[in-house]
């Protein structure tokens, strides 16, 4: 259809106008009317949108029904469209008595989330969300927060130091996100920081605070992550095989013995929120046990599959250093670089050896002597305080024994053990001194024998020991290991015949476990020991003081027996079937042979004549 050009002839234009004047006015009026309606609708829409926005803001600001509008929250009805606060936070897996502190990181402030205090590099948008599908707080953000935790809050109606017997901590708090730091009452456990929220839940079940991540972060009501550090020290049985199933036979030693030790512990995981973390192991030897210079130079430190760099100078990266090295101990410390780079609690192993000191000339030991080897682990346990440290301790106890020696212990009264005594008998076998048996004590007026020398051979290392009977007839052997021995007399006192027999000697040590009430570690200490000589047994029970295991008293069992070693006074009498009889036979044979030779010689001389 061809269009109409209004610029053509006036006539045709007039015809157009005249033909449609009424219809045009109608259209014009209708358009103007619609424009007015649209303007009114636009105004209405603007007002409606403003109302919706205001209503939406009212929902956010209210959070729950009954919000007074000043940002404080009241218990909500949970109605559709409202935000319902959780109202409580809880953490489980905490040892009863451990101290829990809450630090508020985010708070609800006049209808919006806000940081409770400034944290470098952190904004409130980093920590809040609109739905449960967004990523939660990152590990880096958690570290930043833990470095600047602020001030712990006061919790009304709840004790921050009380954890139920079930290990659950619960507290009623204002809406917000909280950093939870837990301190172990014994300072021997590290708790990782954990985040919980007293959140708002919308009508569709979503939350407003993001807590969706990772090893240092826990959802509300989750289990606190903690690392129980272990410390153990014992003899290195790979170098000194044990002969009993409990390995307790190597707790007994003798002067000159080289004792190899092994110390083990697990290295905790230190996140970046720890400043200058400390992890060190210090070993201390008691009097009577010493590391030689060579042993000091051969302290070995390993951490499972890790290759360690020992600190040798002040320059350069290092993983560990050994300091304070003397004959009485050392300290092994690990660097911050190493501690923040290991994961999975790998085991650190320290190996070294020490020697039981030799006895000085004339030195006399008590019936049982104790040597200790103490080790202490010191570690950082609070990311907010680099001066806060936990400790764990362990101890090895080693014992050496003596025969006919003074009883150890301040409460033992200075009594002397009487396992052996040198006595004389007359030609008829009558005892010339006294000794104690299990049922009676025999006394005579003759003095015991002094000056007889004896040799004791045996023990784990087949050593030889020598002793001489004293003015009381006692024969003191010092510094014996538990084990089996053989006793013989070497020389007799003047006027007496040496005892030609040999006597079996057996020393047995029996240990008990002592549990440390602080950390539950178990240490073996001497309970009692026995000395048996030729079947006569003496028993000694040890009393220790506390976990230090210091010997305070040695009790002699009332069935203990003394073994007399007899010397016959006068001439030497031959033993039946022994060498004395043989001498007579040999002498007789020699005389007969001499007579035959003399007779033959005499006959030859006679024949020559």
Highest mean pLDDT among 67-76, 152-161, 557-566: 557-566
Intrachain domains 235-401 and 416-569 with the same fold: yes
In this structure, of 17-21, 221-225, 347-351, the range with the lowest mean pLDDT score is 17-21
CATH entry, 84-228, from 3.30.750, 1.10.287, 3.10.560, 2.60.40: 2.60.40
What pLDDT does residue 115 have?
Answer: 87
Highest mean pLDDT among 16-25, 158-167, 450-459, 519-528: 450-459
Structure tokens at 212: 């969706």
| pLDDT tens figures, 113-151 | 888 888 888 888 777 654 444 555 666 677 677 766 677
- C-alpha to C-alpha distance for 370 and 374, rounded to whole angstroms: 13
Q: What CATH class is the domain 235-401?
A: mainly beta
**In the block, residue with structure tokens 């040597």:** 371
Which secondary structure element, helix H or strand E, spans residue 552, and what is its range? strand 550-556
What pLDDT does residue 74 have?
Answer: 35
Report the candidate in 215, 159, 175 with the shortest Cα–Cα distance to residue 74.
Answer: 175
User: Residue 472's beta-bridge partner residues?
Assistant: none
What are the strands, taking DSSP E only, across 229-276? 231-235, 258-266
416-569 has which CATH code? Answer: 2.60.40.10
- C-alpha to C-alpha distance for 240 and 170, rounded to whole angstroms: 52
Asked whether residue 14 carries a pLDDT value surpassing 80, the answer given is no
3-state secondary structure of 322: strand
What pLDDT does residue 609 have?
Answer: 59
**Residue 425 in contact with residue 442, Cβ under 8 Å?**
no
| pLDDT tens figures, 318-345 | 999 999 999 999 999 999 999 988 877 8
pLDDT band at 481 (very low <50, low <70, confident <90, very high): very high
Asked whether residue 24 carries a pLDDT value surpassing 60, the answer given is no
Distances (CA, A) of 31 to 17, 237, 474, 507: 19, 106, 136, 122
| pLDDT tens figures, 503-549 | 999 999 998 888 776 666 778 888 889 999 988 888 888 887 655 66
- C-alpha to C-alpha distance for 440 and 154, rounded to whole angstroms: 75
In this structure, of 63-72, 221-230, 352-361, the range with the lowest mean pLDDT score is 63-72
Mean pLDDT of 33-41: 47
Highest mean pLDDT among 8-12, 16-20, 51-55, 130-134: 130-134
pLDDT band at 172 (very low <50, low <70, confident <90, very high): confident
What pLDDT does residue 456 have?
Answer: 95
| pLDDT tens figures, 78-112 | 323 456 666 778 888 888 878 888 888 888 888 77
Distances (CA, A) of 295 to 107, 261, 331, 354, 397: 60, 11, 15, 7, 20
- C-alpha to C-alpha distance for 578 and 328, rounded to whole angstroms: 55
In this structure, of 233-247, 300-314, 462-476, the range with the lowest mean pLDDT score is 233-247
Asked whether residue 574 carries a pLDDT value surpassing 70, the answer given is no
Percent of the chain with pLDDT over 90: 18
What pLDDT does residue 154 have?
Answer: 66
Could you tell me the residue ranges of all domains in the chain? 10-60, 84-228, 235-401, 416-569, 574-609
For 8, residues 6+ apart whose C-beta sits below 8 A from its C-beta are none
Average pLDDT, the chain: 71
- pTM to 2 decimal places: 0.63
What pLDDT does residue 174 have?
Answer: 83
Structure tokens at 44: 């209405």
From first CA to last CA, the distance across the chain in angstroms is 194
Sign of CA dihedral 555, 556, 559, 560: positive
Cα pseudo-dihedral 330, 335, 339, 341, rounded to 10: -140
| pLDDT tens figures, 591-608 | 878 777 777 777 777 666
CB atoms < 10 A from the CB of 80, how many?
Answer: 8
Distances (CA, A) of 137 to 100, 213, 245: 22, 6, 53
Report the candidate in 116, 546, 190 with the shortest Cα–Cα distance to residue 379.
Answer: 190
Mean pLDDT of 426-445: 49
For 501, residues 6+ apart whose C-beta sits below 8 A from its C-beta are 488
For 154, residues 6+ apart whose C-beta sits below 8 A from its C-beta are none
Residue 318 DSSP one-character state:
-
- C-alpha to C-alpha distance for 354 and 228, rounded to whole angstroms: 30
- C-alpha to C-alpha distance for 551 and 408, rounded to whole angstroms: 7
What pLDDT does residue 44 have?
Answer: 37
- C-alpha to C-alpha distance for 364 and 405, rounded to whole angstroms: 8
What pLDDT does residue 221 have?
Answer: 44
Highest mean pLDDT among 177-181, 233-237, 283-287: 283-287
3-state secondary structure of 269: coil
Asked whether residue 461 carries a pLDDT value surpassing 50, the answer given is yes
Structure tokens at 2: 């061809």
For residues 554 and 435, the model is more confident at 554
What pLDDT does residue 149 have?
Answer: 66
CB atoms < 10 A from the CB of 607, how many?
Answer: 7
| pLDDT tens figures, 486-502 | 999 999 888 888 888 89
In this structure, of 122-126, 138-142, 361-365, 390-394, the range with the lowest mean pLDDT score is 138-142
Structure tokens at 50: 């403003």
- C-alpha to C-alpha distance for 488 and 475, rounded to whole angstroms: 12
What pLDDT does residue 37 have?
Answer: 46
Report the candidate in 509, 299, 478 with the shortest Cα–Cα distance to residue 397.
Answer: 509
Structure tokens at 506: 């057996």
pLDDT band at 177 (very low <50, low <70, confident <90, very high): confident
What pLDDT does residue 525 have?
Answer: 86
- C-alpha to C-alpha distance for 304 and 348, rounded to whole angstroms: 7
- C-alpha to C-alpha distance for 62 and 74, rounded to whole angstroms: 9
């Amino acid at each position: 259809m061809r269009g109409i050009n209004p610029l053509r002839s006036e006539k045709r234009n007039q015809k157009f106008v005249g033909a449609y004047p009424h219809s045009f006015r109608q259209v014009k009026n209708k358009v103007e009317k619609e424009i007015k309606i649209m303007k009114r609708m636009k105004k209405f829409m603007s007002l409606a949108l403003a109302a919706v926005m205001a209503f939406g803001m009212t929902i956010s600001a209210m959070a729950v029904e009954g919000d007074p509008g000043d940002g404080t929250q009241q218990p909500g009805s949970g109605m559709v469209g409202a935000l319902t606060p959780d109202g409580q936070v809880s953490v489980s897996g905490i040892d009863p008595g451990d101290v829990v502190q809450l630090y508020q990181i985010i708070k609800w402030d006049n209808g919006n989330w806000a940081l409770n205090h400034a944290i470098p590099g952190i904004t409130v948008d980093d920590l809040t969300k609109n739905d449960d599908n967004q990523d939660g707080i990152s590990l880096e953000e958690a570290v930043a927060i833990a470095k600047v935790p602020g001030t712990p809050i006061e919790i009304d109606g709840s004790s921050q130091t009380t954890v139920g017997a079930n290990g659950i901590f619960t507290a009623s708090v204002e809406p917000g996100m909280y950093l939870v730091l837990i301190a172990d009452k014994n300072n021997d456990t590290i708790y990782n920081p954990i985040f919980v929220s007293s959140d708002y839940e919308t009508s569709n079940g979503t939350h407003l605070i993001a807590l969706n991540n990772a090893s240092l972060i826990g959802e509300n009501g989750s289990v606190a992550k903690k690392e129980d550090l272990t410390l153990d020290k014992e003899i290195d049985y790979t170098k000194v095989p044990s002969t009993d199933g409990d390995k307790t036979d190597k707790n007994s030693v003798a002067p000159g013995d080289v004792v190899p030790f092994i110390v083990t512990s697990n290295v905790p995981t230190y996140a970046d929120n720890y400043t200058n973390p400390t992890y060190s192991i210090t070993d201390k030897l008691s009097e009577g046990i010493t590391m030689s210079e060579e042993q000091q130079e051969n302290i070995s430190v390993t951490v499972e599959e890790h290759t360690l760099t020992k600190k040798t100078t002040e320059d350069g990266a290092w993983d560990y250093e050994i300091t304070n090295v003397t004959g009485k101990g050392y300290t092994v410390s690990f660097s911050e670089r190493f501690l923040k780079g290991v994961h999975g609690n790998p085991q650190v192993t320290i190996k070294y050896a020490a020697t039981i000191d030799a006895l000085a000339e004339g030195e006399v030991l008590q019936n049982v002597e104790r040597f200790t080897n103490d080790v202490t682990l010191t570690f950082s346990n609070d990311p907010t305080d680099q001066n806060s440290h936990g400790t764990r301790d362990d101890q090895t106890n080693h014992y050496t024994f003596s025969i006919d020696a003074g009883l150890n212990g301040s409460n033992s009264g200075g009594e002397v053990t009487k396992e052996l005594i040198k006595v004389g008998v007359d030609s008829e076998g009558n005892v010339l001194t006294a000794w104690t048996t299990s049922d009676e004590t025999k006394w005579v007026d003759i003095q015991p024998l002094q000056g007889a020398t004896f040799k004791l051979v045996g023990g784990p290392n087949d050593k030889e020991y020598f002793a001489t009977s004293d003015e009381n007839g006692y024969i003191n052997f010092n510094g014996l290991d538990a084990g089996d021995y053989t006793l013989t007399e070497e020389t007799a006192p003047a006027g007496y015949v040496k005892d030609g027999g040999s006597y079996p000697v057996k020393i047995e040590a029996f240990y008990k476990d002592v549990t440390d009430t602080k950390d539950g570690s178990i240490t073996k200490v001497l309970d009692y020991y026995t000395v048996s000589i030729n079947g006569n047994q003496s028993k000694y029970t040890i009393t220790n003081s506390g976990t230090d295991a210091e010997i305070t008293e040695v009790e002699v069992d009332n069935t203990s027996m003394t073994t007399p070693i007899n010397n016959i006074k006068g001439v030497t009498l031959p033993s039946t079937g022994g060498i004395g009889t043989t001498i007579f036979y040999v002498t007789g044979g020699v005389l007969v042979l001499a007579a035959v030779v003399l007779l033959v010689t005499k006959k030859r001389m006679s024949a020559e004549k």
